[in-house]
Amino acid sequence: MQNKLKFNSSQQLKQIIPSVVGFLVFFFIWYLLSLQPDTSLPSPIKVISNTWDLIIDPFFYKGNNNKGLFWLLLASLQRVTIGYLLAAVIGISIGFIISLNQFLKKAIEPIMQLLRPVAPLAWLPLAQAIFLKPNPSAIFVIFITAIWPIIINTALGVQLIPKDYIDIGKMLEMSFVKNLYKIILPATLPYIFTGLRISLGLSWLAVVAAEMLLSDDGLGFFIVNAYNNSDISEIILAIFYLGIVGIILDKLMVLASSKWERKIP
């Protein structure tokens, strides 16, 4: 038993060491860059000291434009949740529709090809013109950015279903709904979750861009405000928050994917 525990500890240590080395090298390069005379980049230690109050107290609330990073992060996550869920529901539906109906596929595909390459920032003026308010405009930008990978991957999953699966459904004379639930959905689920995972990352990118121009809260607003105040340390702190939350969201999606795939019969 002790030998087994030692072996597990050794394996875990071997997995952690490369990541630790990578971060040490990253911070060392960052420190060297901060020593250059023609830069305003603060060193890692300077960033921590300059933003220590924000780090140790992320929950303070002193007004709409003076609150801790927790509340800013929460505002960004709320926008992402709404925009992303809308994209998921509509995107999966469209993906199935264009795969099961050739006429609708030919009708919708050119529109997708036209709109899909448009950058999130390009949608901001149009969103503001449509909704006239910052919050729904930001949610629309998240939605329109996130929907394309979901549609494409869902449609791809349906198209790649083995013909034998379809033949089994016909032999058993399944209804359309039962065929969808028992055969089509389980076969396409890995592709759907791939699209959902990609879209979640894009949603997190889009919310920052939207909040920089349209919002008075959220991490995007915090970064713009720090830039206007020439506070590079706060910008770097916000970047770390964005990266950490992005990793957590991605891991949660991977966990949800593995659990849902096991539940589908």
Share of the chain above pLDDT 90, in %: 39
User: In the prediction, which pLDDT does 45 show?
Assistant: 92
- 230 DSSP 8-state letter: T
The H-assigned helical ranges of the chain are 2-34, 44-50, 52-56, 69-100, 102-115, 120-131, 134-159, 163-171, 176-179, 185-214, 219-228, 232-263
Contacts of 142 (CB under 8 A, 6+ apart): 79, 80, 82, 83, 84, 87, 203, 206, 207, 210
> Could you give the dihedral angle defined by the CA atoms of residues 9, 13, 14 and 19, in that order, rounded to the nearest 10 degrees?
150
User: Distances from the Cα of 23 to the Cαs of 29, 30, 126, 243, in angstroms?
Assistant: 10, 10, 41, 14
Residues 53-103 pLDDT 10s:
999 988 988 877 778 899 999 999 999 999 999 999 999 999 988 888 888
Q: How far is CA 92 from the centre of its chain?
A: 17
- 67 DSSP 8-state letter: B
Identify the CA nearest to 31 among candidates 44, 49, 48, 22. 44
User: In the prediction, which pLDDT does 169 show?
Assistant: 62
Q: Which backbone phi and psi does 144 adopt, to 5 degrees?
A: -70, -25
CB 261 within 8 A of CB 189: yes
Residue 54 token pair: 């924000």
Q: What is the CA radius of gyration of the chain?
A: 23
Distance separating alpha carbons of residues 150 and 155, to the nearest angstrom: 8
User: In the prediction, which pLDDT does 49 show?
Assistant: 93
Distance separating alpha carbons of residues 150 and 107, to the nearest angstrom: 18
Domains and CATH numbers, the chain: 70-263 (1.10.3720.10)
Residue 134: count of CB within 10 angstroms of its CB: 20
User: In the prediction, which pLDDT does 159 show?
Assistant: 83
User: In the prediction, which pLDDT does 203 show?
Assistant: 93
User: In the prediction, which pLDDT does 170 show?
Assistant: 65
Average pLDDT, the chain: 85
- Please list the ranges in the chain whose pLDDT falls under 70: 1-10, 164-181, 261-265
3-class SS at 61?
strand
- The pTM assigned to this predicted structure is 0.85
DSSP letter string, 167-204 = HHHHHTT--HHHHIIIIIHHHHHHHHHHHHHHHHHHHH
The strand pairing partners of 257, in sequence order, are: none
Q: Which backbone phi and psi does 67 adopt, to 5 degrees?
A: -145, 160
The strand pairing partners of 67, in sequence order, are: 61
Residues 22-47 pLDDT 10s:
889 999 999 999 898 888 889 999 99
